[in-house]
Structures are given as C-alpha cells and as structure tokens.
Structure 1
Amino acid sequence: MLVLDVGPVRTVADLKGGTVVLGVGSWQTHLLAKTLDAHGLSYGEDVTPARPVAGDDQARRLREGEIAGWIAQGAELAAARRGGEFRELIRTGDVITDRSVFFARGDFATDRPEVVAAIATALRRADAWVAAHPAEAAAIAARELGGTAADWRAALVALPWQLEPATDAFVAEQQEAADIFHRVGFIDRALTVADAQLSALEAPVAAALGKDS
C-alpha cells in the first residue's frame, strides 16, 4: 500500500476514516483486512474501500489528498515507486503471500484429474516462459493492459514465478482470511475453506508441476 510520503498517514492507525483504493474482492482485500485487523481496526467500519475507476489517476488522487492509501500493483506500482513521491506503508509479503488461485468444479476435478494436471503443466510452462523472457512478456502486458514496457518489466521480474498445489497450509491461510472477512461483514456467513479442497488432486498436480518443461 502506498501513501503520500509527506502526507498525514504515517501508520496503519492513520488510515482510520480514510478511503483506500484497491481491487475489492481480490488478494488486495485480504491484505487490507488482515492489516487492519492486526492493528485493532475493521475493514467494514474504519476505512472506505473503493474500487479503482478506469481513467482515474490514483497517483494524482493520493498526491492531492483525495484518498488515504492506494494498493497498487503491476506497472502502476513500478511507476509510482520510480516517482519518489510515495512511501510503502504496507508491503504485501510482510502480511500475506499474495497467491493467485485457480478454481475448478469439484465434479470435473474429481472425474478428470489428468486434465487438471495438464492445465497445471501448461500454467507452469507459461510461468517459466515469462521468467525467462521478461522483456517480451513486458511488451505483451503493456500492449494489452497499458503502462510502459519498462514498468511492466520491473513488475514482472519481481514476481516469484512458480505454482504450488493447494496444501493444508494454503487452506489454513485462506481460512484465516475467510474468518476475518466474516467478522467484518465482507461475507455474510462463516465458511469452511477445507470443504472446497480436494486432497486427491495434490499428488497429480504436484507431479505435473515437478516435471521438466
């Protein structure tokens, strides 16, 4: 999360009553909710989460005091870091692991584990290609998503390009997030994340991810 370096937000507690721009419903919600919870604040009551609107310049809004914080990512984060006007109040890796999650229907995954393994293999190969060809991947990202290739390259080379099976440790991490979300009213009922876990897939997926490209 970025805040204005010379602005009034010096600690997490200073976010209270302010607006934070983030991808609501994504890993960014997990990051903000867990951070606030650790500091005795509530995602549901103490800040105003706001989705970024296409065309809005979040750096300008932060600079002019319209928002208290901005959870930036990708090329936008690289560009904001390069400008030197903002300070990192929260570093994602200090709070959550920021995993991307791939879902499948339970019946399909159970009946066709070989297809799930094949998809995992394809994803692993795509990740390996990006890690080995950051300039080419950055050019594609800039063309499709906006921003500059230079900023995308800075963002891409900082990422840990790897895939992992959904282990018990992963489920525990997701359960913690679900519990926080329920407590602050982001979701309206308690969830048991393990109910969505298919332990039988761990071995075939792990084997697929362990193969050479």
Structure 2
Amino acid sequence: MTIRIGYFPNNNSLFVLRHNGLLERYLPDVEWVDLRELSAPPRVDPRQGLPTLHSDWLFEDGGYDFIGTGFTPPITGLGQGRDLVYVGISGPRVENGRLVSLESSGIGNVADLRGKRVGIAHGSWQTTLALLALDRDGLRWDDIVPVDVDVNDGGAALVRGDLDAWVGAYPGLAEVEAAAQLRTLVDTEGLFSHPSLWFVRREFAENHRPELEAIITALQESDAWIVANPREAARYFVDDAERRGGTADLDRWEAALRGRPFGIGTVTDDFLDEQQRSANLLYANGLLPREIDVRDAVLPWIGEVVEARRSATVV
C-alpha cells in the first residue's frame, strides 16, 4: 500500500521528514504530496467562512493519508463534518509570531483595529489568533476588514500600506522587523499555545495502525535530528526556496528552527480546551458552519503510541 503524506514548509517537522529519508526506513512505499502544488481551492471570503483545502484532500480519493498543520485546519475539517482524529501536538510555539502594525500607523492596540484591514493567512493559526485577540477586546470578526494574504507576502503589504495590521510569523517577520519600526498589538503568548499538530482520517487510523505507528516513530526521530542539526535542517528550506525561484536566508531559518519546539506530544485536555474555545468562537462569528465537540476526534490508543515513541526518543 502506498502511504501518501501531505507536506509543506509551514509544518517544519513534515517538511524535514520529506527530505531526510527517515520515514522510508519504516515505510518503503511513500508518496509525498506537496500541498503547494495541489489544485487551488475556490477562494473564500475571509468574512464569510474558512478554506477547507487540508481536510478536503485528506478525504479525496487519491489525496493524502496523513497531514501536519497549524491550529485551525482540523477545526475547519470537523466543522465540515469530516471524520478526522488527532494524532499529536508539538509544544507551544508562542514565539513564532504575533499581531503587529507599523509604529507610524497610529494603531496602538486591538481596539484601534475597528474598520481596519488586518492581514492573515486565512484558515491558518493566524485566523484563530486574530479572532481570539478581537474577542478579548470585545470585538467581533465583522468589526475588522480581514484580508487573506500569503504567509510570505503579508509583511511587504504591511510596509506598503496595503494593510493596517498583520499577523506575522518568523522567519518572514524578521525581514519586516529589519525594514520597518513595528508595534506589537498582541503576542501569541497569553492567547493560546499555538502548537503544530497532526491528524488523519479515522478510517486510516483504525485500519492502518502499523503504518500510522511507523509515521509517528519516524517523526519523533526526525524531530530529534532537527534539534541536533538545526543548520542542516534549515538548508532544506533554503534549497526549496531557491529551486522555486526565490531566496531564503539560512541564518534566519536556522534561528527560526532553534526557537521552535520539536517532538510530538500527546493531545492534552488543555489543548482540547483551546480547540473547543476557538471552534465556539469561529461558529459564533459565522466562520464555521456548525457547532462541534473536538473531543469526538480523540482516539486514546493513539496518545499511548505517541507517548511510548516520545519516551523512546530524546528530543
């Protein structure tokens, strides 16, 4: 059986695993599906809903079997009625990004964003961060003008004046910090833990347990390798950017990887509480089509496997 793994640079762990060959030691027949090369989904107005690319392709015939993303996509999938289950989560990534404006903009806090253009990579963790920040200040989603921007282009749009605020992430945020004076409106810390996470179809978990256990094992080993070899891991991202006609800074990628948690942990009650609160907010603000219970997406035996593999691997 061919196991299909969806990957892209935003999930650092799977991106490195794609290139270092560790998974192939356990599963000889692996097909890597570059999410950037999938057919683009219909555009979604960020005031009206959430894009469903990740969960759609998880359930498409010929799509992928396993995926790692940020905080929001599994909520989106569950809200669309997809029968998916969590595999595991990373540690908190609260240093990875934040909501910023230009110092010269006159925007000093979240309350000042009413009616303003806020750039987000819509459907990612950035949507959740913006919504949680608004809710904390008594605002709703329709109090701002959300603008869907590519994760790599939002900083330039902010500097040009096309955006009033932007949820930025490293290493791209470092480039903007070097080019402009920024004001932090909201740090990720204090809002939510912002982990990476991994999920699969329930059918895959139940019918292909050995393959899922092999993926978990390889990911734990690969993450330990990243921790021990951050500069070599950073080279994969730089080489990828250059192959695609762009550029990337090796030092900034290395710094970004050094600042991120690696290793897959078990799904915790605290994480599920964060997911549930976010799902409730997304629904209340018209971005999720139905209410969900995120604990329906937990299979206890997966957590036992994750913990066993984590205990056997030093990260």
The TM-score normalised by the length of structure 1 is: 0.90
2:295 to 187, 191, 194: 194
| CA positional deviation for 1:113 | 3.2
2:276 to 155, 166, 175: 175
1:77 aligns with 2:178: no
Match of 2:145 in 1: 48
SS of residue in 2 equivalent to 1:128: helix
Give the Cα–Cα distance (whole angstroms) in 2 for the partners of residues 206 and 113 of structure 1.
15
Match of 1:138 in 2: 234
1:48-90 superposed Cα distances (whole Å, 9 cap, x missing partner): 222224884x334323432111111132112223345212222
1:156 to 257, 261, 277: 257
Match of 2:42 in 1: none
CA contact (8 A) 2:102 2:158 kept: yes
| CA positional deviation for 1:169 | 2.5
1:16 aligns with 2:114: yes
CA contact (8 A) 2:121 2:151 kept: no
C-alpha RMSD of matched pairs (Å): 2.0
Matched to 1:179, the amino acid is N
| CA positional deviation for 1:128 | 1.6
Matched to 1:10, the amino acid is G
Give the Cα–Cα distance (whole angstroms) in 1 for the partners of residues 313 and 281 of structure 2.
39
SS of residue in 2 equivalent to 1:40: coil
Give the Cα–Cα distance (whole angstroms) in 2 for the partners of residues 87 and 62 of structure 1.
12
CA contact (8 A) 1:113 1:204 kept: no
CA contact (8 A) 1:182 1:188 kept: yes
Give the Cα–Cα distance (whole angstroms) in 2 for the partners of residues 123 and 212 of structure 1.
10
Higher strand proportion: 2
1:32 aligns with 2:130: yes
Give the Cα–Cα distance (whole angstroms) in 2 for the partners of residues 5 and 70 of structure 1.
13
1:207 aligns with 2:303: no
Name which of structure 1's ranges 198-207 and 104-113 shifts more when overlaid on structure 2.
Answer: 104-113
CA contact (8 A) 2:265 2:307 kept: yes
SS of residue in 1 equivalent to 2:195: coil
Name which of structure 1's ranges 178-187 and 155-164 shifts more when overlaid on structure 2.
Answer: 155-164
CA contact (8 A) 1:114 1:204 kept: no
Name which of structure 1's ranges 24-33 and 152-161 shifts more when overlaid on structure 2.
Answer: 152-161
CA contact (8 A) 1:78 1:155 kept: no
Task: Say if 1:200 and 1:19 are closer, same or farther in 2 by CA, change over 3 A.
Answer: same
SS of residue in 2 equivalent to 1:121: helix
Give the Cα–Cα distance (whole angstroms) in 2 for the partners of residues 156 and 86 of structure 1.
23
CA contact (8 A) 2:227 2:258 kept: yes
Higher helix proportion: 1
Match of 2:23 in 1: none
1:76-118 superposed Cα distances (whole Å, 9 cap, x missing partner): 1122233452122222223111112211111221234343222
> 5+ unaligned residues in a row in structure 1: which ranges?
none
Matched to 1:23, the amino acid is A
Counterpart mapping for 1:109-124 below 5 A: 109-124=205-220
Give the Cα–Cα distance (whole angstroms) in 2 for the partners of residues 212 and 67 of structure 1.
44
Match of 1:165 in 2: 266
SS of residue in 2 equivalent to 1:66: coil
1:128-166 superposed Cα distances (whole Å, 9 cap, x missing partner): 222221212222212224421122122211112232112
Task: Say if 1:53 and 1:100 are closer, same or farther in 2 by CA, change over 3 A.
Answer: closer
Identity percentage of aligned residues: 31
